């Protein structure tokens, strides 16, 4: 079986992911580098491991998580669809079976909130893991050097991420809840700013959890919102 370690070490993957991050940086978006991909890979695998325990499905989720943003190498617009096709061809070239590669293709093609839907367990885990990565480390270094008094001048995505001190996903088997827990510095950014840009993403997370037969819970600064 092709593993996420194999994918990370593939030279074609490295080249495409470098180009994807280069384009995102040129456009001024928050970080979408190997750091983000590795976190999404880890969380997607952990979610599915806790829910189904099928190691084969878990490894596919890890791979989908690592490759989910490679479409940014083509264009930010429709990056989920272009990334899905790229991932399928890379994985089959590496020797992955067609069905497994297609499973990952479908997950990547549905991870974006504008067009995506939770259509499989891998897709659902990927959606939640991707939308959960809100953190100040995703803001570009030239922004993080700015003083708090300058934050109001930043775009809302940078403000929200810069204010996010901590974020993480956990699974509670007893209550059958998938929990996204975020700590936001409200002196830098009000909680309402988070909902302004993330509400549609949280709705997709809730649908993803519903697909899995679980409940999605959002906690911000110890307050339950969903």
From first to last of its 226 residues, the chain has per-residue pLDDT tens of 899 999 999 999 999 999 999 998 888 777 677 889 999 999 999 999 999 989 999 999 999 999 999 999 999 899 999 999 999 999 999 999 999 999 999 999 999 988 899 999 999 999 999 999 887 776 765 544 445 455 555 666 788 878 888 899 999 999 999 999 999 999 888 899 888 888 999 999 999 999 999 999 999 999 998 7
Q: How far apart are CA 50 and CA 148, in angstroms?
A: 39
185 by DSSP, 3-state: which?
coil
DSSP letter assigned to residue 118? -
**Run of H or E residues at 169:** strand 164-172
CA triple 53-57-59, angle to 5 deg: 100
| pTM for this model (two decimals) | 0.90
**φ, ψ at 81 (rounded to 5°):** -70, -45
Identify the structural domains of the chain with CATH numbers, from first to last.
4-224 (1.10.3210.10)
- Tokens 């909130």 correspond to 113
Nearest to 111 by CA among 126, 98, 101: 126
> What is the C-alpha to C-alpha distance for residues 116 and 119, in angstroms, rounded to an integer?
9
Q: Determine contact, residues 86/71, Cβ cutoff 8 Å.
A: yes
Spatial CB neighbours of 179, under 8 Å, sequence gap ≥ 6: 169, 170, 171, 172, 217, 218, 219
- CA–CA separation, 109 and 87 (whole Å): 10
């Amino acid at each position: 079986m092709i593993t996420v370690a194999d994918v990370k070490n593939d030279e074609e993957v490295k080249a495409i992911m470098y180009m994807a991050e280069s384009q995102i940086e040129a456009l001024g978006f928050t970080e979408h580098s190997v750091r983000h991909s590795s976190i999404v890979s880890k969380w997607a695998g952990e979610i599915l491991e806790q829910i189904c325990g099928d190691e084969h499905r878990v490894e596919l989720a890890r791979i989908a998580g690592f490759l989910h943003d490679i479409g940014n190498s083509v264009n930010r617009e429709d990056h989920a669809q272009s990334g899905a096709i790229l991932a399928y061809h890379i994985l089959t070239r590496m020797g992955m079976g067609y069905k497994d590669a297609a499973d990952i293709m479908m997950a990547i093609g549905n991870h974006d909130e504008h067009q995506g839907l939770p259509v499989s367990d891998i897709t659902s885990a990927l959606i939640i893991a991707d939308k959960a990565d809100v953190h100040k480390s995703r803001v570009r270094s030239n922004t993080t050097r700015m003083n708090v008094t300058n934050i109001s001048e930043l775009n809302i995505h940078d403000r929200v991420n810069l204010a996010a001190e901590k974020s993480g996903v956990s699974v509670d088997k007893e209550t059958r809840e998938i929990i996204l827990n975020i700590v936001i510095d409200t002196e830098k950014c009000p909680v309402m700013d988070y909902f302004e840009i993330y509400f549609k993403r949280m709705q997709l997370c809730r649908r993803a959890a519903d697909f899995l037969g679980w409940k999605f819970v959002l906690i911000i600064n110890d307050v339950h919102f969903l």
